[in-house]
Amino acid sequence: MKNTLLKGNWIRVIIAVLLILALSTAAFGKTKLRVTTWAGAEEAALDESIIAEFMRLNPDYEVVYEAVASDNYYQKILTDIGAGTPPDVILLDAEMIPKFFEGDFLTDLAPFLSRLAREGYGGSNVYEYFPVLVDIARIDRKIYSIPKDTSPMGVFFNKKMFDEMKVPYPDEDGWTINQFIETAKALTKDLDGDGKNDTWGFAFPSWVGIAVPLLWAGGGEVFSPDFSHTSGYLNSDINVKTYQTYLDLLKEGYAPTPQQASALGGNSALFYTGKVGMILTGRWFNVSIKGQIAKGLDLQVGIASLPFADINKKDTVSYLSGWSVPSNVQDKRGAVMLAAFLSSDYAQRKRCLEGSLAISANQAVAQLQGENDPLDAAFIKMLDYSRVPVGSQTKFYRPKFEDLWAEAFDKINVGGESLRSVLDWMASEMDKAIAKGES
């Protein structure tokens, strides 16, 4: 009696195990090309339709699209690379290109693109893109990345707040630091008379990605022209003067302290809830704002350039991402074709016109974007005087420069040190790191 019962049970267990094993080893189709991006759920949907179109136009190819949550993107592709199975097309930040370029890891796309362009293949004509964006990944005549889209940096301002406090809008063609200071002061008010400010002029720009273009806008530089050192550039008098202006505004209460900002939900929340009149950030913020307005947020937004020290010397940065191909892929031509298609007219229209996710790197599509949305038009104008991000020129930017800046700001904000001493410290640390050759 006992034995048969046991046998019955064991048979069920064995069947279950076999079923599990069978289901477990089911692989999902044969892959020929893999492309990885850091898209979120909505962007992934758009990308998938673009890839479906690629597969329709090129039936020989099968593409697997791997979207990875952006925080873990580099861990995933580095694991793949370290194991010897890199994806065929990789989306890369401009700041990561120097590192990836190191071991001869990326393919020079120029010869492929020129031939594809002659055949009229979508996305391969280098002249269709904004020159500054192609230059980001260009070394001599070699191109290592096809630009995807870009986000220049600017100032978002709350039109309603400006109207209520009767503050004039910033000039469309650009404004000076002094004008910025006055605007910030005018927007800071103590509405309920409790001695504490309830609205502030602007959210303080402590993130390195906005600090560097601010320093540029102030007329200073951060690295030496050959990127061999930062002393004399990062801690120059101009930079101290520029950033000190903003720090003074912070000290005098025209911007919430980082602690206050964090308690109230961060810079974006401050802007949404009308607590700050201006926020200095990139075009990507437009996406969140549109989303919130669609959900009922009562906000009208305008765009201004970053404040310049000299209105005739305009300078800003445009961050971008681009598609690259590792040099040890199985099918180089196919990979380059895919990479080009992912930036082609079709793709750009889908992502940037329909999805409005960023400013298209393709000049024609960007123009259309500008016609659809005055905010985008303002950003596109900035591309005229944008520069490549400093991180795309040197491998010491990420993470060394970024980490040092965060620590430097901490020293000023929490430690109470002076800007000059902190910048001196930072420049010497950077130079030590560059000299050692480690990042």
Under the binding rule (CB under 8 A), the answer on residue 27 touching another protein is: yes
Under the binding rule (CB under 8 A), the answer on residue 225 touching another protein is: no
Radius of gyration, alpha carbons of the chain: 25
Judged by CB, which is closer to another protein: 110, or 181?
110
Considering only residues 4, 5, 30, 83, which one is a binding residue for another protein as defined by CB under 8 A? 83
Under the binding rule (CB under 8 A), the answer on residue 264 touching another protein is: yes
Under the binding rule (CB under 8 A), the answer on residue 68 touching another protein is: yes
Minimum gap (Å) between residue 323 Cβ and another protein: 15
Instruction: For residue 201, count CB atoms less than 10 angstroms from its CB and return exposed for 0-12, middle for 13-18, buried for 19 or more.
Output: buried
Total site size for another protein, rule CB under 8 A: 87
Residue type, 191: L
Site mask for another protein (CB under 8 A), range 389-408, x = bound = ---------xx------xx-
Q: Which of residues 107-126 bind another protein (CB under 8 A)?
A: 111-112, 115, 118
Give me the phi and psi of 39, to 5 degrees please. -65, 150
Under the binding rule (CB under 8 A), the answer on residue 291 touching another protein is: yes
Minimum gap (Å) between residue 39 Cβ and another protein: 6
Under the binding rule (CB under 8 A), the answer on residue 312 touching another protein is: no
Cβ partners under 8 Å of residue 120, min gap 6: none
- Structure tokens belonging to residue 321: 């991402």
Judged by CB, which is closer to another protein: 349, or 400?
400
Q: Which of residues 29-58 bind another protein (CB under 8 A)?
A: 34, 38-45
Judged by CB, which is closer to another protein: 56, or 295?
295
DSSP assignments along 316-368, one per residue: EEEEEEEEE-BTT-S-HHHHHHHHHHHTSHHHHIIIIIIS--SEESBHHHHHH
Under the binding rule (CB under 8 A), the answer on residue 429 touching another protein is: no
The C-alpha atoms of residue 345 and residue 339 are separated, in whole angstroms, by 13
The C-alpha atoms of residue 236 and residue 218 are separated, in whole angstroms, by 12
- Say if strands 89-93 and 316-324 run parallel, antiparallel, or are unpaired: antiparallel
Considering only residues 8, 52, 72, 171, which one is a binding residue for another protein as defined by CB under 8 A? 72
Q: Which of 249, 207, 242 is nearest to 221 (CA)?
A: 242
Judged by CB, which is closer to another protein: 329, or 382?
329
